[in-house]
């Protein structure tokens, strides 16, 4: 695990959420709260508009301030779904299973469409970069088979990622089983990606950061990854990442959860819509 360095800066990286709520820098914005720097804010409204339960957790890197719409949900762990592709990319590169983002992963010829739904547009050989952008689960499962759970366990423990419970027999332990990470921990990992303080090489971070770019404007750059899994009778949807705007960096983890028996055709798009609306409320964009 070359490239690991201990971060001795004052920034509160990898501080437990329980500890942070005791600090005055932590802001809990539930329902409607008035803050002089932001004006009137209602973080519950975007979730109500989408008719969905969930939370958004943010960290203002410059001001060292945490913001949560639901503090309990912010530190409740669940399956990471495809947001795991963030650290999975680093692990695949670091372990030597794949050389770079352009190396092609061979289509195995089939996938379980009951588990993953039917997506014929991704059923072909593709590069890791394409697999990341298209969220092609089959491609990362093929990489996982080569990496092995013992090596995953080492990297996840060193990175302090989630509960490192890989006991499920399925190779796709990030979509099925008891593996879990909280929104607050997601942000801790993202800070480690931004600072390059996780136990991976600089070259791997550069590849990942380039792959994560979803939007780049004259004003800001947004790096992120979605996720959606359908395990334990629940739909769990994520959008996590960070937005750089000048000297300001805002980390975020939005998670939606609903019973699979409850229909909501907007579930997928609400992950981003809720996040963008909160960004607008906070004056981030």
Which residues are known to be catalytic?
82
CA 172, 94, 59, 248 torsion: positive or negative?
negative
Backbone angles phi, psi at 170, to 5 degrees: -65, 140
Question: By the 8 A CB rule, do 76 and 70 touch?
Answer: no
182 CB burial (10 A radius; 0-12, 13-18, 19+): buried
Question: By the 8 A CB rule, do 223 and 232 touch?
Answer: no
As given in the structure block, the two tokens for residue 134 are 């298209």
178 CB burial (10 A radius; 0-12, 13-18, 19+): middle
Angle between the 183-195 and 202-212 helix axes, to the nearest 10 degrees?
120
As given in the structure block, the two tokens for residue 140 are 């990362």
Q: For 36-194, where are the E strands, in sequence order?
A: 39-42, 53-60, 65-68, 104-105, 126-127
Q: For 9-122, where are the E strands, in sequence order?
A: 26-28, 32-35, 39-42, 53-60, 65-68, 104-105
């Amino acid at each position: 695990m070359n490239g690991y360095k201990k971060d001795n800066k004052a920034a509160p990286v990898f501080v437990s959420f329980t500890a942070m709520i005791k600090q005055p820098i932590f802001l809990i914005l539930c329902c409607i709260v008035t803050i002089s720097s932001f004006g009137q804010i209602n973080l519950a409204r975007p979730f109500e508009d989408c008719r969905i339960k969930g939370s958004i957790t943010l960290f203002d890197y410059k001001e060292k301030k945490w913001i949560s719409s639901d503090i309990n949900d912010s530190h409740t762990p669940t399956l990471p779904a495809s947001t795991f592709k963030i650290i999975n990319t680093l692990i695949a590169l670091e372990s030597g299973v794949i050389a770079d983002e352009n190396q092609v992963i061979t289509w195995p010829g089939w996938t379980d469409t009951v588990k993953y739904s039917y997506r014929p547009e991704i059923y072909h050989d593709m590069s890791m970069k394409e697999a990341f952008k298209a969220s092609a689960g089959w491609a990362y499962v093929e990489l996982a088979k080569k990496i092995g759970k013992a090596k995953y366990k080492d990297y996840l423990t060193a990175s302090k990622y989630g509960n490192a419970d890989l006991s499920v027999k399925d190779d796709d332990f990030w979509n099925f089983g008891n593996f879990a990470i909280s929104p607050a921990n997601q942000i801790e990992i993202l800070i480690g990606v931004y600072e390059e303080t996780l136990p991976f090489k600089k070259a791997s971070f550069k590849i990942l950061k380039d792959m994560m770019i979803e939007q780049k404007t004259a004003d800001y750059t947004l790096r992120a990854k979605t996720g959606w899994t359908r395990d334990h009778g629940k739909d769990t949807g994520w959008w996590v990442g960070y937005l750089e705007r000048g000297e300001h960096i805002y980390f975020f983890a939005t998670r939606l959860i609903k019973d699979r028996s409850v229909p909501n055709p907007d579930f997928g798009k609400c992950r981003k819509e809720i996040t963008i609306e909160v960004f607008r409320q906070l004056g981030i964009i």
